[in-house]
Amino acid sequence: QSALTQPASVSGSPGQSITISCSGGSSDVGAYNYVSWYQHHPGKAPKLMIYEVNNRPSGISNRFSGSKSGNTASLTISGLQAEDEADYYCSSYTSSRTLVFGGGTKLTVL
């Protein structure tokens, strides 16, 4: 199975908004509303930020939001803060009853 496609890097200034895309196909992102997003600070455990396209787990700031259109999902972070600087990964359930991750996006807060 092929990894979902994410931009390698995005950047933004504090207070700004950024969006990270996650492109898949008709057998994964396009087929199910089972897209998740994780924040990963190197050396730490990944942290679930969004699940089922646009749901936030308890304790996650409403600055984080998710959406999906066709075969592409997106994560938007508004009001960027220095602590948001991390790697972000999307994942999707697939028609083969497996999961697939995106290649990851490095977010830099300028």
Q: Which of 73, 92, 107, 109 binds other proteins (CB under 8 A)?
A: 92
Q: Which of 11, 16, 69, 96 binds other proteins (CB under 8 A)?
A: 96
Residue 53 zone, left/alpha/beta (φ > 0; ψ -120 to 50; rest): left
Q: Report in angstroms the alpha-carbon separations of 1 from 53, 70, 100, 102.
A: 21, 19, 7, 11
98 is a contact residue toward other proteins (CB under 8 A): yes
Angstrom distance (rounded) from CA 80 to CA 31 = 31
Task: Give min distance, CB of 6 to other proteins, in A.
Answer: 8
Instruction: Report the interface residues with other proteins, using CB under 8 A.
Output: 1, 3, 32, 34-36, 38, 40, 44-48, 51-52, 57, 89, 91-93, 96-104
